[in-house]
Structure 1
Amino acid sequence: MSEIADRGQKTAFQVRKAFQNSPSIEWSGSAGAVYPAVRRLVAAGLLDAVAQDDKRATKHLFLTPRGRAALKAWSRDCLRSVSVGIDPFRLRSGIWLNSGDLRDESFIARLRAALEERLAAEIEDQKSEDAVEAIRIELNIRLLRMRIEWLDEAIEAAAP
């Protein structure tokens, strides 16, 4: 719903493309995930789908008043807002420490390269995104930089 309300996506196809372009690989931008989700939101009265007069049977999506209220309530859920959520890096970091992976030069090189590649991509993306996405990207840039700093400190601590 945020893609529609805050990012100006007007069609299910545009929402799907936004999910496909997300840096979060946990999001699915597949047609089998997005289109049924949009249909469920319409059926629940959270979105309206207004048919356009074109050959593709395009429908423009709009949040209903109920949808706006639900989005606002979701965004203001402070307990969930401060949750660390699903964080693959955080979940794996203890395993890396306990298993000796942080003394494996090959693994460290791959992990550092992945972090630096993601950081470079985020910095590049920040140049062209809208104001809402720019904030999300800035927070991700800061997180990636902290992860690189943590990795350097953990490697040093793990050294024999």
Structure 2
Amino acid sequence: MNKTKTEGGEFRYRKTENIKKIEFLVLKKRRRLKNIQLNYTHHITTTLVKAKPTYVVMEDLNTSGMLKNRKLSKAIQQQTFHEFKRQMTYKCAWQGIELIVVDRFYPSSKKCSRCGHVKDRLSLSERTYRCEVCGLQMDRDLNASINLKQYAESMM
């Protein structure tokens, strides 16, 4: 960038034509990536709704709290959870599918899907859920999905 001196003595930067071209190309690439991501979100939500389930269960995640984790914040920002939830809401309404949003404090990952025991602590690194009471061992996400299904069935 070229520097030009103003009357006050300070320097002001001026953008060259090459820098303007590069900035335009960067904006174009970002717009393209955003459109690809939005198209993917539309595709996934449409596929889920076209399966014609009776209900869909979603967790209301504390994304603002999750963004405070420096290791996960960039990955979470790129997922656009709000847009996914918005699309699922209107697409379920169109198809007459009930959308059940579970409270963010419901212990879906900490609760045993067999006996109902709730763990006090469950770290993110523990990918396998192990119940101390009944001895159940399964994938943490599978256990959470079973708990969410049981929650929805208890609501109906």
- TM above 0.5, one fold? no
Larger helix share, 1 or 2: 1
Larger strand share, 1 or 2: 2
**TM-score with structure 1 setting the length:** 0.30
Of the two, which has the highest radius of gyration?
A: 2
